[in-house]
A = this chain, B = another copy of it.
Amino acid sequence: MITGKNYIGNKLSGKGTITHRTINPKLNIENPYEFVQATEEEVEEAVALSEKAFQEYKNYSGKKKAIFLNTIADEILALGDELIQTYTSESGLPEGRAMGERGRTMNQLRAFANLLEEGTWNNSVIDTADASREPAPKPDIRRINIPLGPVVVFAASNFPLAFSTAGGDTASALAAGCPVIMKAHSMHAGTSELVASAIIKAAEKTGMPNGIFSNITGSGRVVGAALVKHPKVKAVGFTGSISGGKALCSLAANREEPIPVFAEMGSINPVIITPEAIAARGENIASTYAGSITLGAGQFCTNPGLLLTIKSDKTDDFINDLGKKAAEIESQCMLHPNIKRDFVANGNSVSAQAGVEVVSEIIEAVAENNAPTKIVKVSGEQFLENNKLHQEVFGPFSLVVVCDSKEELIEVVNGLEGQLTGTILAEESELSTMNDVLQALQNRVGRIIFNGVPTGVEVCAAMTHGGPFPASSDSRFTAVGVNSINRWVRPFSYQDFPDSLLPDELKNSNPLQILRLVDGSLTKDKIN
């Protein structure tokens, strides 16, 4: 079924001459398919179709868009075993993870479908007229969310399904009313083509305009840059490295018409472990964190890469125990030889900094692309002096920072870049004395976890997956949960408009029976 071509709207197209292959990291060989990078002309055609589709799609009802999203989920499931096999062969991730991630992807699509069916999400506000108001009559003003326009989505290397072709960015943009042009990740281009075929099939079955979705292939940055710079593109979603995200933000900010980029760029996810918590349950924490650090070969954006504690007589034992337990967990295959290469290089770069001691390291021969777990430690003083210790090492790696005092620990937290998450492991009894630590941590993160692990990002309305720069490019939005739809919409107001021309959400009769803020009160009532 895989052709190696791009989807330019509903049509497979492979006019280019530049090609690449994906790699099976477990076998360390190239996969059989050859993927054809999109040409300038194909990019142009995809954007033109997307813009045309937008003019229709932006007016579709929530119910119609919901049917589309649910059908995408059905069609992804219908890809069956070919999708699972392609996923594992392009990522080295196990079959169980593939099935789980497929389920999550489908659940995300269905969650947005539910949101659209209900219709309250779009924040309808109605302020009715008052002709008798002095000194001037009050007009009738009604507000709704409308979609921004064509959105370009860049797939994540580490979630070939849930943050890729039909992942959270795509689902939220389509739900918002925006056509999507997908920049497939070159590491899992086959998975992307299969999922794209499911989206196209769903689009055709449910009567969506041609151009509602395109899937664009390319291995360098050329195609992605062309998409972000295109004047008809109105927003960008990205999940990946800080350097990649920053490059896209800069391209977008320097356009003649700058456009919003939501880039989720990574994080070292500080975890504060108090001496009291170590004293009370150090072994348990060590086991839990050995698991969290190595989960999925450490290839999660919420991987705990930085553990912070304050020196006590139990500190060394705890750190050694953590190192031992982490090293006992069998090493796992990484997503790609390049990711393995960078993991080793970045881990070595941190280990080579002044004052850093290796606590444990898997050094026996592991399969070619497996990740050798590594735990290192350093003093708070040295961490404060050296920004190179702040860098993310993507993979099963964690740096333990041992501070001399709570004051030093707070200083360390205050000096961190923005993070997706922050975690506190502490005894309930000491929390009343920790307000200063909590406050400092809150300033640097988007989500704070008590006595848990940062890995595992629940898909729910209360989730914030984002945070101060560079965790994400704009901390005012989340990439996970239904609120992520807000990245792709803008408020729009109608003043004194005839009822018949208003969208259903704003009509006097409230035909959709949604909650609306009418003259300051939330209600489903009609307007008289």
Q: A141-B460, A449-B495 are in contact. List 12 more A-B contacts (CB 8 A).
A: A139-B458, A143-B462, A143-B464, A146-B442, A148-B475, A257-B418, A257-B469, A447-B493, A448-B492, A450-B494, A451-B496, A462-B517
Asked whether, in the complex, the Cβ of B522 is within 8 Å of the Cβ of A515, the reply is yes
Asked whether, in the complex, the Cβ of B260 is within 8 Å of the Cβ of A253, the reply is no
Decide: A463 near B501, CB < 8 A? Known: A141-B458, A486-B476: no
Task: With both chains docked as a complex, state the minimum distance between the C-beta of A449 and any C-beta of chain B, in angstroms.
Answer: 4
Asked whether, in the complex, the Cβ of A501 is within 8 Å of the Cβ of B447, the reply is no
A136 beta carbon closer than 8 Å to chain B = yes
Asked whether, in the complex, the Cβ of A501 is within 8 Å of the Cβ of B143, the reply is no
Task: With both chains docked as a complex, state the minimum distance between the C-beta of A276 and any C-beta of chain B, in angstroms.
Answer: 15
Q: Interface size bucket, A side?
A: 35 or more
Q: Give the chain B neighbours of A341 by CB distance below 8 A.
A: none
Asked whether, in the complex, the Cβ of B476 is within 8 Å of the Cβ of A490, the reply is yes
Asked whether, in the complex, the Cβ of A490 is within 8 Å of the Cβ of B462, the reply is no
Decide: A452 near B139, CB < 8 A? Known: A127-B458, A478-B491, A501-B438: yes
How far is it, in angstroms, between the C-alpha of A71 and the C-alpha of B148 when the chains are bound?
A: 39
Asked whether, in the complex, the Cβ of A490 is within 8 Å of the Cβ of B446, the reply is yes
User: Nearest 7 pairs between A and B by C-beta?
Assistant: A464-B493, A253-B253, A143-B462, A141-B462, A125-B462, A475-B490, A449-B495
Q: Give the chain B neighbours of A125 by CB distance below 8 A.
A: 461-462, 483
Asked whether, in the complex, the Cβ of B497 is within 8 Å of the Cβ of A450, the reply is yes
Asked whether, in the complex, the Cβ of A142 is within 8 Å of the Cβ of B462, the reply is yes
Q: Give the chain B neighbours of A253 by CB distance below 8 A.
A: 249-250, 253, 258
A508 beta carbon closer than 8 Å to chain B = no
Q: Which of A131-153 contact B (CB under 8 A)?
A: 135-136, 138-139, 141-143, 146, 148-149
How far is it, in angstroms, between the C-alpha of A125 and the C-alpha of B468 when the chains are bound?
A: 20
Task: With both chains docked as a complex, state the minimum distance between the C-beta of A344 and any C-beta of chain B, in angstroms.
Answer: 28
Asked whether, in the complex, the Cβ of A258 is within 8 Å of the Cβ of B442, the reply is no
What per-residue 1/0 map shows which CB atoms of A483-510 lie under 8 Å from chain B? 1001101111111111011000000000
A473 beta carbon closer than 8 Å to chain B = yes
Asked whether, in the complex, the Cβ of A476 is within 8 Å of the Cβ of B491, the reply is yes
A364 beta carbon closer than 8 Å to chain B = no
Chain B minimum-CB-distance residue to A465: B493
A439, A462, A468, A517 — most chain B CB neighbours (10 Å)? A462
Interface residues of A (CB under 8 A from B): 55, 59, 100, 125-127, 135-136, 138-139, 141-143, 146, 148-149, 249-250, 253, 257-260, 417-418, 428, 431, 438-439, 442-443, 446-452, 456, 458, 460-464, 466, 468-470, 473-478, 483, 486-487, 489-498, 500-501, 515, 517, 520, 522
Task: With both chains docked as a complex, state the minimum distance between the C-beta of A501 and any C-beta of chain B, in angstroms.
Answer: 6
Chain B minimum-CB-distance residue to A447: B493
Q: Give the chain B neighbours of A517 by CB distance below 8 A.
A: 461-462
Q: Give the chain B neighbours of A448 by CB distance below 8 A.
A: 492-495, 497
How far is it, in angstroms, between the C-alpha of A125 and the C-alpha of B522 when the chains are bound?
A: 16
How far is it, in angstroms, between the C-alpha of A487 and the C-alpha of B486 when the chains are bound?
A: 13
Chain B minimum-CB-distance residue to A501: B431
Asked whether, in the complex, the Cβ of B258 is within 8 Å of the Cβ of A249, the reply is yes
Q: Give the chain B neighbours of A258 by CB distance below 8 A.
A: 249, 253, 469, 473
Task: With both chains docked as a complex, state the minimum distance between the C-beta of A55 and any C-beta of chain B, in angstroms.
Answer: 7
Asked whether, in the complex, the Cβ of B515 is within 8 Å of the Cβ of A452, the reply is no
Q: Give the chain B neighbours of A431 by CB distance below 8 A.
A: 498, 500-501
Asked whether, in the complex, the Cβ of A498 is within 8 Å of the Cβ of B428, the reply is yes
Task: With both chains docked as a complex, state the minimum distance between the C-beta of A54 and any C-beta of chain B, in angstroms.
Answer: 9
Decide: A476 near B489, CB < 8 A? Known: A125-B462, A462-B143: yes
How far is it, in angstroms, between the C-alpha of A451 and the C-alpha of B443 when the chains are bound?
A: 48
How far is it, in angstroms, between the C-alpha of A492 and the C-alpha of B398 when the chains are bound?
A: 25
Asked whether, in the complex, the Cβ of A491 is within 8 Å of the Cβ of B520, the reply is no
How far is it, in angstroms, between the C-alpha of A148 and the C-alpha of B463 when the chains are bound?
A: 18
Asked whether, in the complex, the Cβ of B492 is within 8 Å of the Cβ of A143, the reply is no
A476, A477, A498, A517 — most chain B CB neighbours (10 Å)? A476
Task: With both chains docked as a complex, state the minimum distance between the C-beta of A138 and any C-beta of chain B, in angstroms.
Answer: 7
Q: Give the chain B neighbours of A477 by CB distance below 8 A.
A: 491
Asked whether, in the complex, the Cβ of B496 is within 8 Å of the Cβ of A452, the reply is yes
Task: With both chains docked as a complex, state the minimum distance between the C-beta of A199 and any C-beta of chain B, in angstroms.
Answer: 25
Decide: A450 near B498, CB < 8 A? Known: A260-B476, A458-B141: yes
Asked whether, in the complex, the Cβ of A127 is within 8 Å of the Cβ of B493, the reply is no
Q: Give the chain B neighbours of A250 by CB distance below 8 A.
A: 253
Decide: A260 near B449, CB < 8 A? Known: A431-B501, A442-B146: no
Q: Give the chain B neighbours of A497 by CB distance below 8 A.
A: 448, 450
